[in-house]
Amino acid sequence: MLLFRSEEEIAEWRRIQGRESGRMLPLVKVWTLAQRWYHDRMSVAFRGSSAERAQGIFRSLDLTDDFWLLPSG
């Protein structure tokens, strides 16, 4: 994950690195995703997330394009 302050910084990084853009999310959305994903991580009862739960988290944040689709079986 790379963090940038502006679209201009992204464009400059891409130009220098000769790379295409990946997925771009506002930092607040990344923070919200992390909170929802890891909120119970330190619990003794933690057993990981099911694909269904993960997909629900993605949907709740409007992360619905193909990049965020998980295998269903």
On whether residue 17 sits in a domain, the answer given is no
Overall domain count for the chain: 1
The whole domain housing 41 covers 24-73
| Residue 4 within any structural domain of the chain | no
- Which amino acid type is present at position 5? R
- pLDDT value at position 49? 83
Q: Does residue 1 fall inside a structural domain?
A: no
Instruction: Tell me if 36 sits within 8 A of 57, measured CB to CB.
Output: yes
Of 21 and 2, which is predicted with more confidence?
A: 2
pLDDT at position 73, please?
60
Tell me the pLDDT band of 71, cut-offs 50, 70 and 90: confident
| Assigned domain for 54 exists | yes
List of residues 6+ apart from 42 with CB closer than 8 A: none
Domain membership of residue 5 (yes or no) is no
